[in-house]
Structure 1
């Protein structure tokens, strides 16, 4: 049984929402984040990445940076840039990109559900990446970036969403990346009860994106429990900020690979090796996308090739049967010598949002070959998580990205 609760949000004053809302903290490097804050001084990045308010000589993880994030956030609340909701509500958060819409419920998920596996994971996390957000959440005493969760579509939730979306939205703006963001409040008691009970009946929730943020939020919750040994379980630090989307609306984009060299082989020798493993057909100079699971495209020496995984080489296993696993296990490891894609500097990853031309560009700069993948499906992600397994690195790329700063969850109220 999943516990998905309404909460009293701290959220932008309506007139400022479009200026405050920012892409997630980990989309930018320090230089890019600083440029973004200089361009838009109200951007939430000045809180999520408070090092932008310091000279470059100050380390990103300096304690002063986290304290600055805290001070900036609560100063903005005090000055009216944000308001505090007085009633616990759910929120509907709709993102529209390229004419396609996905609609989620903004709520708080239970750290106990994370610990017991009701909220299922498909990636490992790294302690050093967690620590940054642990410090940020703990010192701000608030979660500022929602975790992207997924669930199997539910008719009761769908009906409540349809009813509420007939009303005027709280926010409705199009960001500079052309993604439209719209928010409604679910505030009627009968609707809140219906949503809460529907999630309790779903039973299984999946982390789609934001594993490190989720792990960090849970760690902070555990820390607060130690500080409050008589906690009841109802305190806000027992929950973490999330947006939950039904599976039928989610789009996973391709996450493509580029390799720096061919492990000492010429292009011709490598092509022969690849053709021994996969069915390979040259298709010309124009980029070609894979059309179905089991297919990928390869860019080599100025030409595109359509490649097919042979049926006998597709294992009936939720992890080993992923296209990214087959490419890694059949070609990248044994032929190119890339044994661990997480640590090998000879491989890089390119999100599908950048397009196939980016693969050509990389091959003209610093890479020898590129591989365009067919996107992993949400059903494949669910199957891996249901099996208690982990996906290979860089298996999924979700778009559009949730904006930070639209919803803030206070840990102590």
Structure 2
């Protein structure tokens, strides 16, 4: 069979090595006891040792950012973290060797409870064929292959170095799924149709290929969000519309803050757009910016109405997180527009400034007015319908679309 354009299937198997079953089983038992691991996945987790897939160098989340941890320097801590329910950054700055102070995470070993939750929502059963988008370190591919068989799993990774490391780890663990290098947003027509599609990165827009390559009755599970809010987990069921065209539709089923798909993410800091720009005419608003900082449901809903708008928070040098004094910056890099709101504790009217053609603050105020008028709905009441041409966010049911559709929420 021919290989899809941009996809490389080269690579050779590496020697196999036994998994540390006791440690794998201990992690599985911990996840199961906490309610994260579904019973039908326990056996697969028992046989996959997470440490066999975690690279020797990782970056560990810390209050002031990320701290590098090398296995050779502190093997006890490395092993402890590899076998616990914590996310580990496995690549920064696309592996370019940028200065340590930048530390922009670009690949990771996801928190095991999150992997377990996503696999549970996938609703796999024997005989299913699965497409995984974003191989990463290879743990999820190993779990899928362990449950469904190697031939039933196709996994695509964009980064050749990450893909090579995952291939080595998978082969050493005795798993040989279809491992490809390429743009996962294009899927892989060679092994389609798929009963299940699982993405391990966040998207603003559901790639049409994922829908087109899914079997009717299939399911797509993916992290999803807006530039303002990352993110939530979608479980989309695939069928056909009245004209026979494929579509995927389903609700938000939980939270899932993952790295963005590289083509849909934004490089550079939020404040790069603000630098050296005229602040325009000062004004005021009754919108308390604390709502967008502290209320995740408000932030999520607002993000659907204002695609492309990112945020940043600035505090005076003597302010603390608890005193409630800060400036909320809202930025749209595409139109070079921004707005800011200064929050003073106890105030009911707040000073603002803005720049650029997009009326960001007006749009945010309208979004929050809609959210309040509809009973301040939780984010799990929202959902999405995606076709080859568009996607539409809705509240409670696909027949109740948002006034401003989520047809293109790229930043």
What is the TM-score of this pair, normalised by structure 1?
0.28
Question: Which protein, 1 or 2, shows the higher relative CO under an 8 Å CA cutoff with sep ≥ 6?
Answer: 1
| More helix by percentage | 1
TM-score, normalised with respect to structure 2: 0.28
